[in-house]
Amino acid sequence: MQQTFPNLELNGQAVDIAVADGRIASITSAATPGAATRPVVPAFYNCHTHLAMNLLRGFADDLELMPWLQEHIWPAEAHLTDEIVYAGTRLAILELIRSGTVFANDMYWYAPAVARAAEEMGIRCAVSMQTIETGGPGHNDPKNVAANAALAGLPRDASSRVFATLAPHAIYTVCESSLRDIAARAKAEDTFIHVHVAETRFEFDTCLKEHGGRTPVAYLNDVGLLGPKTVMAHCVHLTDDDVKIIADTGAVICENQQSNMKLVSGLFPFKRAVEQGKCRASIGTDGASSNNALSMFAEMKCAALAAKIESGDPTCASAETVYRLATRGGAEAFGLDAGEVRVGAAADFVILDPNRLPLVPGFNRTSDLVYAADPSCVDTVVCAGRVLMEGGVIPGEEEIVAAARVAAAKLG
């Protein structure tokens, strides 16, 4: 069945967009000349999330990473259940949709609950088969063993709206033999890998000491984990050799500047890695416990500004470059023909309200979206041809919010 979205404005032209079978079937001159139009732009692809951590927004703020994790987050997460994660994930998806995001690359506990929420609410989601070892090397947490088994039947590629990835948490929570096993499995199954890499100076320095002077990037490359289907979150602490390894392997960096700044992990070296090193890159928000939001608008602005400060170059990370990473760059990381509004591309797009103040007067839309806009500018969100929000309304929102409040109360 074909659906038409009339009276839109694309690249300065009044157009009607027809959608069929999840793709943009046609873009034609508007059938109603002179009618008021609304801008249509690509949707966002959030390439590193912990969705259900929306339930921990504002919980244990203003701490360094390891005390935050070990003394506060992990004890709270000990109370998680499948239904709590389901409630938290639905709350996060509401926030994603409201801010024009249609894809999340997620890593969290009770992943089948994440998959269920994403399937029901209509977004695209890479759901993690996570490995995080407790009790010593090789002892994957029992919660993950059961969850990963339940995900075994999910597809492994983004041609399916909800699919599974392999997700070794980090080098400090997964032993070398397990990392090698995951690398071999990913190759055999042609599966994406999602991993935290070089997030903190402590991780970087510890890796040098424990792995023969190798950096986290060099170590992961040596165990076979890096390749074109590997998405590496953070990558704050990189040597020039690391940048070359990433570029040569085709692995994808996902920068998370707001989380990195809040936890004082450091600033992602955007100019050295992306503009000079030509590494593939994307943007993510991390979880709402360390960000504390899932707005790609805010993340884009922070990415652009932090890159300028880190490099000392005001021309670094232009609005056009950052906007592309948040849209087309994220889609390309997962092999999606998306992130652009054109015939044949996936029907993932956002219709804006041109009268919202951050979009006025409108000299440069890309600059407005990166430096000024916020979720209030989003009127309608379409994912794979399905309307997820229209006129600012998401069906079932009140029930989702109420259930999330109940679930969050169980984590304290």
CATH number, residue 256: 3.20.20.140
Q: Does some domain include residue 408?
A: no
Is residue 377 helix, strand or coil?
A: helix
Q: Does some domain include residue 31?
A: no
* CB-count exposure of residue 141 (10 Å: 0-12, 13-18, 19+): middle
> How far, CA to CA in Å, does 33 sit from each of 37, 241, 290?
10, 56, 47
Q: Does some domain include residue 163?
A: yes
CA 356 and chain centroid, separation? 26
**Digitized pLDDT (tens) for each residue of the chain, 412 residues in all:** 799 999 999 999 999 999 999 999 999 999 898 899 999 999 999 999 999 999 999 998 998 878 888 899 888 988 999 999 999 999 999 999 999 999 999 999 999 999 999 999 999 999 999 999 976 566 788 888 889 999 989 999 999 999 999 999 999 999 999 999 999 999 999 999 999 999 999 999 999 999 999 999 999 999 999 999 999 999 999 999 999 999 999 999 999 999 999 999 999 999 999 999 999 999 999 999 999 999 999 999 999 999 999 999 999 999 999 999 999 999 999 999 999 999 999 999 999 999 999 999 999 999 999 999 999 999 999 999 999 999 999 999 999 999 999 999 998 7
Is the C-alpha dihedral spanning 110, 164, 114, 224 positive or negative? Answer: positive
Contact 304, 263 (CB under 8 A): no
Q: Does some domain include residue 3?
A: no
Q: Half-sphere exposure of 279 toward its Cβ, with a 13 Å CA cutoff?
A: 31
Closest C-alpha among 249, 257, 198 to residue 226 = 249
Instruction: Write down the pLDDT at residue 311.
Output: 98
Buried-exposed string 193-229: b where 16+ CB fall within 10 A, e elsewhere: bbbbbbbbeebbeebeeebeeebbbbbbbbbebbbeb
**Please, which residues have CB within 8 angstroms of residue 194's CB and are 6 or more apart in sequence?**
48, 105, 107, 126, 128, 165, 166, 167, 231, 233
d(CA 159, CA 106): 17
Q: Does some domain include residue 353?
A: no
Torsion of CA 179, 111, 96, 299, to 10 degrees: -20
Q: Does some domain include residue 381?
A: no
Tally of domains in the chain: 1
Write out the two tokens for 148: 């990963």
> What distance separates the 2 farthest-apart alpha carbons in the chain?
68
Q: Look at the chain and count its residues.
A: 412
Q: Does some domain include residue 352?
A: no
How do strand 23-29 and strand 13-20 relate by DSSP bridges? antiparallel
Q: How many CB atoms lie within 10 A of CB 78?
A: 9
Question: Against a cut of 0.95, is the pTM above it?
Answer: yes
Q: Which domain holds residue 213?
A: 44-333
d(CA 108, CA 11): 39
Q: Does some domain include residue 93?
A: yes
Identity (one letter) of the amino acid at 158?
A
Instruction: Write down the pLDDT at residue 135.
Output: 60
Instruction: Write down the pLDDT at residue 138.
Output: 67
